[in-house]
């Protein structure tokens, strides 16, 4: 039926209405005379023919044949009643003309019977067809039985959108309000969520879709936490107002993101801080194709900078972000392919385009890989960063922002140590910039893990869960800080706007997350269970043991008591200018000599010795610098 041309559907509907109106008129006479076979006279046949001849044009004029039966709104019943009333009045006027001509007299009760029966048959047939087309005669074999959590207007609209357009069969709604339990809302039964374990077994539920966009974040987390251990997939939809405003696709039923369970409070960004750093500026991002760099670029182009320079060593990553931004950018976007260790390429990019703000996100960040490639990690993260900073200082870049890491605090691995060196270099450059009197500001922003970044544990867990496991965890008791990438980059830009020169900004990462709990939550959110002694069919969490250089608990502070508040509640500041090391240039020369000799052991020794002295022999200065 769905493949039938629209014109033929209308012709069939008109033919059905003609037969229905004739039936309504015959039933009216039968009721009036209490005779199911009323006498057929020429006048009665003429009146019967005139009834649909008058009604069909009225139906066409009022739009009864424009509506799609499957999506017929409830308000269409009033349109049908109105159309039937107008058609009856016109028919009565014709009857009156015939009576004036001396024809057969029509009893006064006939028009009332005709109107009532016609309205019931025309409206009832359409809504019956809608129910059959929308719901079908039952659940098909390939349909997935689901519940919608919530019994609001948005839930009813979601159910209407899913009916007949997907392979999901809606069993009913779930709602915590006891006054709704057992009632029908939008044609679906409302159930008590406390009965979910029994309902899942009874109906074979495979998925629960949350329609709770108006709930506070803590209540939403509570609902997700309660559902996550039931062995069903949990998905959510955007608010219906977002759909109307065009911010989401109508079919965007998505999985619950793990960051929705982190318990982080949301603080709206300070638009004045962001605009002050980005609007009408020439901005350059190194590592523009990486996780943080690419999200920074997405944010930057929304604030109408004068120009955005994408600096990236990976050709494919640069191609991807350049192509993406070209479709949405309100400014000129310039892709530059090159390494941060290549001074001439860096200098040309900055001088040619007149860069005013530089976000340095380029770095080797994967701990095990950098641990296995020490010299490359030092070359890129230490000397590459030094090169970018020196050129930025020499070319007059107004704002330089180093993207640092929580692994720079008391580092136990090469990646963290190189990030600590980068912070020390930034402090040294800030002192030099202040002495020059040109108003240049150098700062660093330190934060923990971001969800979904390249090399992050979250995409790895997702891939392993999709493959049926096992999910590999180095140590389930290991704890890490997490935040979403969009939140991180907004805070980075706002931090840079607060810089006075030489600052290390520390982002509030909330409470640390136990990696074992993270793995279990992701397994349950995907609709699976965790394998244990009582559940041999779940997904296994396999402990592989800690890797070289991994810390059990990461830190953001050397001493949290010395952290200084800023005007933003999620950004803390440390004035690091007083703690700049005077011997840093000599240490850099020694480290460079070891790298040039390819002496990995000596390079590692210098790498940790210098920051060890920084942490041990100058504890008070360091606490002031990196609290």
Please indicate, yes or no, whether residues 149 and 50 belong to a single structural domain of this protein: no
- Exposure pattern of 441-457 as b/e (b: 16+ CB <10 Å)? bbbbbbbbbbbbbeebb
End position of a domain, from candidates 118, 135, 152: 135
Please indicate, yes or no, whether residues 60 and 43 belong to a single structural domain of this protein: yes
Beta bridge partners, 572, equal: 506, 565
Segment 307-319, tens digit of pLDDT:
999 999 999 999 9
If one compares 30 and 550, the residue with the highest pLDDT of the two is: 30
Residue 266 lies in a domain: no
Mean pLDDT check: name the lowest of 34-38, 84-88, 341-345, 574-578: 574-578
600-613 mean pLDDT? 81
Across 150-154, 175-179, 571-575, the highest mean pLDDT is recorded for 175-179
End position of a domain, from candidates 135, 157, 176: 135
Residue 577 lies in a domain: yes
Question: Which residue range(s) make up the domain with 47?
Answer: 6-135
What whole-number percentage of the chain has pLDDT above 90? 24
Cβ count within 10 A of residue 42: 9
Please indicate, yes or no, whether residues 192 and 287 belong to a single structural domain of this protein: no
Contact yes or no for 204/145 (Cβ under 8 A): yes
Please indicate, yes or no, whether residues 441 and 299 belong to a single structural domain of this protein: yes
Which residue bears the tokens 């912070």?
423
User: Quick check: 266 pLDDT over 70?
Assistant: no
* Residues making up the chain, counted from first to last: 627
Q: How far apart are CA 27 and CA 34, in angstroms?
A: 10
* SS3 readout for 429-482: HHHHHHHHCCCCEEEEEECCEEECCCCCHHHHHHHHHHCCCCEEECCCCCEECE
Residue 239 lies in a domain: yes
Contact yes or no for 345/384 (Cβ under 8 A): no
Provide the mean pLDDT of the chain. 79
Give the containing element (helix H, strand E) for 170: strand 168-174
User: Quick check: 437 pLDDT over 90?
Assistant: no
Question: What pLDDT, on the 0 to 100 scale, is given for residue 246?
Answer: 44
Please indicate, yes or no, whether residues 372 and 252 belong to a single structural domain of this protein: no
Query: What are the residues whose beta carbons fall under 8 Å from the beta carbon of 496, sequence distance 6 or more?
Result: 277, 357, 359, 399, 401, 443, 445
CA-to-CA dists, residue 270 to 277, 295, 498, 507, angstroms = 11, 18, 11, 15
Task: Pick the closest to residue 176 from 204, 138, 140, 150 (CA basis).
Answer: 150
Please indicate, yes or no, whether residues 334 and 425 belong to a single structural domain of this protein: yes
User: Quick check: 480 pLDDT over 90?
Assistant: no
Question: What pLDDT, on the 0 to 100 scale, is given for residue 296?
Answer: 93
Residue 261 lies in a domain: no
User: Quick check: 491 pLDDT over 60?
Assistant: yes
End position of a domain, from candidates 207, 229, 256: 256
Residue 521 lies in a domain: yes
pLDDT band at 259 (very low <50, low <70, confident <90, very high): low
From start to end of 228-272, where are the E strands?
233-236, 254-255
Query: Given CA atoms 249, 254, 259, 263 in this order, what sign does their dihedral have?
Result: positive
Q: How far apart are CA 174 and CA 151, in angstroms?
A: 7
**What are the tokens at 395?**
């070319």
Segment 7-53, tens digit of pLDDT:
777 788 888 888 888 888 888 878 887 777 766 666 667 777 788 88
Please indicate, yes or no, whether residues 328 and 445 belong to a single structural domain of this protein: yes
Contact yes or no for 611/591 (Cβ under 8 A): no
Segment 438-454, tens digit of pLDDT:
889 999 998 877 766 65
Query: What are the residues whose beta carbons fall under 8 Å from the beta carbon of 152, sequence distance 6 or more?
Result: 211, 214
Please indicate, yes or no, whether residues 122 and 153 belong to a single structural domain of this protein: no
User: Quick check: 140 pLDDT over 60?
Assistant: no
H-helix segments, 210-314: 217-227, 240-244, 271-278, 291-301
Across 13-22, 139-148, 156-165, 373-382, the highest mean pLDDT is recorded for 373-382
CA angle 545, 549, 550 (to 5 degrees): 55
User: Quick check: 432 pLDDT over 70?
Assistant: yes
Q: What is the CA radius of gyration of the chain?
A: 35
Question: What pLDDT, on the 0 to 100 scale, is given for residue 348?
Answer: 96
Residue 438 lies in a domain: yes
User: Quick check: 153 pLDDT over 80?
Assistant: no
Burial class (CB in 10 A: 0-12, 13-18, 19+), 556: buried
**What are the tokens at 393?**
């200082």
**What are the tokens at 169?**
């069969």
**What are the tokens at 139?**
């659940």
Please indicate, yes or no, whether residues 605 and 465 belong to a single structural domain of this protein: yes
Query: What are the residues whose beta carbons fall under 8 Å from the beta carbon of 32, sequence distance 6 or more?
Result: 107, 109, 110, 113
**What are the tokens at 172?**
């009913």
Contact yes or no for 284/311 (Cβ under 8 A): yes
Please indicate, yes or no, whether residues 330 and 219 belong to a single structural domain of this protein: no
Please indicate, yes or no, whether residues 24 and 151 belong to a single structural domain of this protein: no
578-606 mean pLDDT? 83
For residue 336, what is the domain's CATH number?
3.40.50.720
Query: What are the residues whose beta carbons fall under 8 Å from the beta carbon of 397, sequence distance 6 or more?
Result: 350, 355, 356, 357, 358, 440
pTM for the whole thing? 0.64
* DSSP conformational letter for 383: I
Residue 128 lies in a domain: yes
Q: How far apart are CA 590 and CA 602, in angstroms?
A: 9
Mean pLDDT check: name the lowest of 102-106, 284-288, 391-395, 479-483: 102-106
Query: What are the residues whose beta carbons fall under 8 Å from the beta carbon of 508, sequence distance 6 or more?
Result: 569, 570, 571, 572
The number of folded domains in the chain is 3
Please indicate, yes or no, whether residues 490 and 599 belong to a single structural domain of this protein: yes
User: Quick check: 553 pLDDT over 60?
Assistant: yes
User: Quick check: 391 pLDDT over 90?
Assistant: yes
272-292 mean pLDDT? 92
Residue 400 lies in a domain: yes
């Amino acid at each position: 039926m769905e493949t039938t041309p629209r014109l033929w559907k209308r012709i069939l509907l008109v033919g059905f209405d003609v037969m229905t109106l004739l039936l309504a008129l015959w039933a009216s006479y039968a009721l009036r005379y209490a005779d199911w076979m009323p006498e057929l006279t020429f006048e009665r046949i003429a009146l019967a023919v005139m009834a649909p001849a008058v009604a069909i044009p009225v139906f066409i004029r009022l739009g009864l044949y424009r509506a799609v039966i499957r999506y017929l709104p409830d308000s269409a019943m009033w349109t049908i009643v109105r159309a039937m009333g107008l058609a009856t009045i016109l028919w009565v006027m014709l009857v009156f003309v015939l009576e004036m001509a001396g024809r057969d007299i029509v009893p006064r009760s006939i028009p009332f019977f005709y109107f009532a029966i016609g309205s019931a048959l025309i409206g009832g047939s359409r809504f019956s067809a809608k129910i059959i087309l929308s719901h079908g005669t039952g659940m098909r074999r390939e349909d997935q039985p689901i519940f919608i959590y919530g019994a609001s207007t948005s839930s009813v609209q979601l159910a209407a959108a899913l009916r007949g357009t997907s392979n999901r069969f809606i069993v009913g709604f779930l709602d915590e309000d006891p006054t709704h339990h057992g009632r029908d809302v939008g044609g679906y039964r409302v159930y008590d969520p406390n009965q979910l374990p029994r309902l899942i077994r009874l109906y074979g539920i495979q998925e629960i879709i949350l329609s709770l966009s108006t709930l506070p974040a803590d209540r939403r987390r509570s609902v997700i936490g309660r559902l996550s251990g039931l062995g069903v997939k949990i998905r959510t939809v955007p608010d219906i107002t977002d759909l109307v405003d065009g911010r989401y696709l109508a079919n965007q039923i998505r999985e619950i993101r793990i960051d929705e369970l982190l318990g982080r409070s949301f603080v709206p960004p300070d638009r004045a801080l962001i605009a002050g750093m980005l609007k009408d500026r020439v901005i350059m991002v190194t590592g523009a194709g990486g996780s943080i760099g690419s999200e920074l670029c997405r944010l930057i182009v929304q604030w109408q900078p004068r120009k955005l320079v994408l600096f990236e060593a990976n050709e494919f990553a640069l191609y991807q972000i350049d192509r993406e931004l070209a479709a949405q950018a309100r400014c000129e976007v310039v892709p530059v392919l090159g390494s941060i260790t290549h001074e001439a390429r860096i200098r040309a990019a900055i001088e040619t385009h007149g860069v005013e703000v530089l976000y340095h996100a380029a770095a080797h960040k994967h701990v095990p890989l950098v641990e296995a490639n020490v010299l490359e990690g030092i070359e890129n993260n230490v000397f590459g960063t030094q090169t970018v900073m020196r050129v930025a200082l020499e070319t007059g870049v107004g704002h330089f922002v180093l993207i640092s890491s929580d692994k720079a605090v008391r580092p136990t691995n090469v990646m963290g140590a190189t990030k600590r060196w980068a912070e020390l270099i930034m402090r040294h450059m800030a002192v030099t910039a202040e002495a020059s009197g040109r108003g240049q500001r150098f700062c660093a922003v330190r934060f923990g893990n971001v969800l979904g970044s390249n090399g992050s544990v979250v995409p790895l867990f997702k891939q392993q869960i999709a493959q049926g496991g096992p999910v590999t965890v180095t140590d389930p008791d290991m704890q890490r800080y997490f935040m979403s990438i969009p939140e991180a980059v907004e805070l980075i830009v706002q931090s840079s706007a607060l810089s006075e020169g030489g600052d290390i900004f520390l982002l509030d990462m909330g409470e640390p997350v136990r990696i074992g709990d993270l793995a279990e939550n992701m397994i349950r959110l995907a609709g699976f269970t965790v394998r244990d002694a009582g559940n041999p069919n779940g997904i296994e969490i396999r402990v592989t043991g800690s890797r070289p250089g991994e810390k059990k608990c990461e830190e953001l502070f050397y001493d949290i008591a010395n952290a200084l508040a800023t005007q933003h509640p999620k950004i803390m500041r440390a004035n690091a200018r007083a703690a700049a090391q005077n011997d840093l240039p000599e240490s850099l020369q020694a480290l460079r000599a070891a790298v040039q000799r390819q002496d990995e052991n000596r390079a590692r020794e210098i790498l940790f010795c210098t920051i060890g002295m920084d942490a041990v022999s100058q504890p008070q200065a360091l606490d002031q610098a990196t609290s």
